[in-house]
Structure 1
Amino acid sequence: MDWKTFQALLSGVNKYSTAFGRVWLSVVFVFRVMVYVVAAERVWGDEQKDFDCNTKQPGCANVCYDHFFPISHIRLWALQLIFVTCPSFMVVMHVAYRDDRERKYKAKHGDEKKLYNNTGKKHGGLWWTYLISLFVKTGIEVSFLYILHHVYDSFYLPRLVKCEVSPCPNQVDCYIGHPTEKKVFTYFMVGASALCIVLNICEIIYLISKRFVRCANKLKRRNRNMGRHHDKYNDDDHFNNCSVAVTKPEPEPEPRELKEQPPSFRSALKPSFGPSGLKLEEKIRASAPNLSTS
């Protein structure tokens, strides 16, 4: 397996990951891939050759080895590393899909217009893709730990195993090569896998909590803007009412007695003592000398 090509492909995920994702990627490369390539492959180089049984019965050693080691640790860890890193390529593929859409959009509408502010920013569908990849990685890690524990009954490797599988003539004692060294590397790889599970869970909690905080801030900002708009509307309404009250004052009511009481005939015919009044009185006397105003 070409681990350098695998590392080059997976390193593109680093720029789209969060802080927890970068730590997870470092743990995978340093504590799992490097340990696997440098040390673990040599320890499990030819474990079947080092598996000795105290019998010369043909086929007994092969059958006993297959019974106790249905799948080698080193090959199981290789499958685990491949499967656990594959979900990260979902993020890279989604970003590549966004880049292609952005390129087509700019070719159609011009370079000044953009479909995405940042194609690698975890919003919308990319956020869901990243979150699903974390759940898939966590499920794969847990599944391989369960398989390793179920196949070997535990993470502990004994020095001596007793085999009674045919064609062995009776109960045969078989000895595992380098049991202590293999046990140390097994615990180390299991611990690194458990650490990756914890990092994935922390990253899931971080993404969900950050999304909730962003939604809460957006809701608060919307309520604040609505409150300001409502206050502005109330102030404008109050100003209009005040302007109407100032520009259109109500007329003062006339006294009811003066308004309802009609003028008397005597006051209407009462002569005035001015010059105009004397002329009017002389005209009345000239026209009707027998009438008197008194």
Structure 2
Amino acid sequence: MGEWAFLGSLLDAVQLQSPLVGRLWLVVMLIFRILVLATVGGAVFEDEQEEFVCNTLQPGCRQTCYDRAFPVSHYRFWLFHILLLSAPPVLFVIYSVHRAGKEAGGADAGPGPPPRRRCYLLSVALRLLAELAFLAGQALLYGFRVAPHFACAGPPCPHTVDCFVSRPTEKTVFVLFYFAVGLLSALLSVAELGHLLWKGRPRARRCRQGAERDGRRHRAREEARQLRPPPPVPPSRPRRPDPCGPPAYAHAAPAGDSEGGSGRSKASLATVRLDLAI
């Protein structure tokens, strides 16, 4: 039971990302498959080869007839079935742990939940395909009934040999039970896949509508910015007088006045010189 407990612990980690339908699938997987096969299946099918009796003593005839009656043992077929069904959820757990490590380290290049959701959708789809393939394989290999008598002919048997299966009714009940559990598991996988796809449609629509709304707001802001008049130029502040410069009342004389004043001073100077000469 150690290997089953390890597999069950890995599958328990899937329920953190699973919806209600996915958790129901895990319950069916853990209880009606792993637990039943580990406790009852081994006891029912462990002696099928030893108890397969044929009415001949020809060496090798009984082994050849058993191989023709059961190309693959029921128990090993279901064991491989469980391992293959558990592969997609376990891979999803590994991916989620890796993704969480990248997000914690700050090395994530994009948003976390959408890629994780797509990975979970892929795991559910692969799980459903594996379930349907094994249901078809079980129906083709064994049918729905374990016959108590099997007639075998061909080498190394010298003639037609009658072989008998131990506990055929009990094995038939177990085969039907396991096939019914497979159908239930497939239906749960279909329901979970449809639920995830239907739940993702409103979210994608909301994201698309939000992006369109943001785009419209951005375009409206750009258009309003282009139509807006330019801002008024603020009035210039008066310059403060320089304390080291000339006073405010000292204005420069006009050019004409300065020239006139210089002319008058020259005329008065010439008059003074004329008086002195006289």
Instruction: Identify the TM-score tier after normalising by the shorter chain.
Output: 0.7 to 0.9
**2:128 aligns with one of 138, 162, 181:** 138
C-alpha RMSD of matched pairs (Å): 2.8
Q: Using the alignment, how far apart are the partners of 1:226 and 1:128 within structure 2?
A: 26
**Residue 90 of structure 1 contacts residue 129 of structure 1 at CA under 8 Å; is this kept in 2?**
no
Amino acid at match of 2:49: Q
In the other structure, the counterpart of 2:260 is none
Amino acid at match of 2:55: N
2:137 is aligned with 1:147: yes
Q: Using the alignment, how far apart are the partners of 1:197 and 1:185 within structure 2?
A: 18
- Cα deviation 1:143-184 (Å, max 9, x = unaligned): 2222222223x2221111110021112111111111010011
Higher deviation after alignment, 162-171 or 221-230: 221-230
Report the 3-state secondary structure (helix = DSSP H, G, I; strand = E; otherwise coil) of the residue aligned with 1:156.
Answer: coil
Report the 3-state secondary structure (helix = DSSP H, G, I; strand = E; otherwise coil) of the residue aligned with 1:166.
Answer: coil
**2:165 aligns with one of 153, 170, 176:** 176
Shift of 1:23: 0.5
Higher deviation after alignment, 32-41 or 95-104: 95-104
> TM-score normalised to the size of structure 1?
0.69
Q: Using the alignment, how far apart are the partners of 2:38 and 2:163 within structure 1?
A: 28
2:201 is aligned with 1:212: yes
2:129 is aligned with 1:128: no
- Cα deviation 1:30-83 (Å, max 9, x = unaligned): 111111011111000110111111222222111100111111000010010011
Aligned residues: 228
Q: Using the alignment, how far apart are the partners of 2:211 and 2:117 within structure 1?
A: 23
In the other structure, the counterpart of 2:180 is 191
Shift of 1:98: 1.6
Higher deviation after alignment, 61-70 or 165-174: 165-174
Amino acid at match of 2:88: P
Shift of 1:133: 0.6
In the other structure, the counterpart of 1:156 is 145
Q: Using the alignment, how far apart are the partners of 1:85 and 1:51 within structure 2?
A: 32
Higher deviation after alignment, 53-62 or 169-178: 53-62
Q: Using the alignment, how far apart are the partners of 1:148 and 1:182 within structure 2?
A: 14
Shift of 1:217: 3.1
**Residue 157 of structure 1 contacts residue 179 of structure 1 at CA under 8 Å; is this kept in 2?**
yes
- Cα deviation 1:190-241 (Å, max 9, x = unaligned): 1111111111111111111111111223444556677889999999xxxx9x
In the other structure, the counterpart of 1:250 is none
Report the 3-state secondary structure (helix = DSSP H, G, I; strand = E; otherwise coil) of the residue aligned with 1:168.
Answer: coil
In the other structure, the counterpart of 1:65 is 66
**Residue 102 of structure 1 contacts residue 116 of structure 1 at CA under 8 Å; is this kept in 2?**
no
For structure 2, the residue ranges without an aligned partner over 5 or more in a row are 230-278
* Closer/same/farther in 2, CA of residues 102 and 219 from structure 1, 3 Å limit: closer
Q: Using the alignment, how far apart are the partners of 1:96 and 1:178 within structure 2?
A: 46
- Cα deviation 1:91-128 (Å, max 9, x = unaligned): 2112111222123218xxxxxxx9888x6xxx321111
Q: Using the alignment, how far apart are the partners of 2:109 and 2:215 within structure 1?
A: 29
Q: Using the alignment, how far apart are the partners of 1:80 and 1:160 within structure 2?
A: 27
> TM-score normalised to the size of structure 2?
0.73
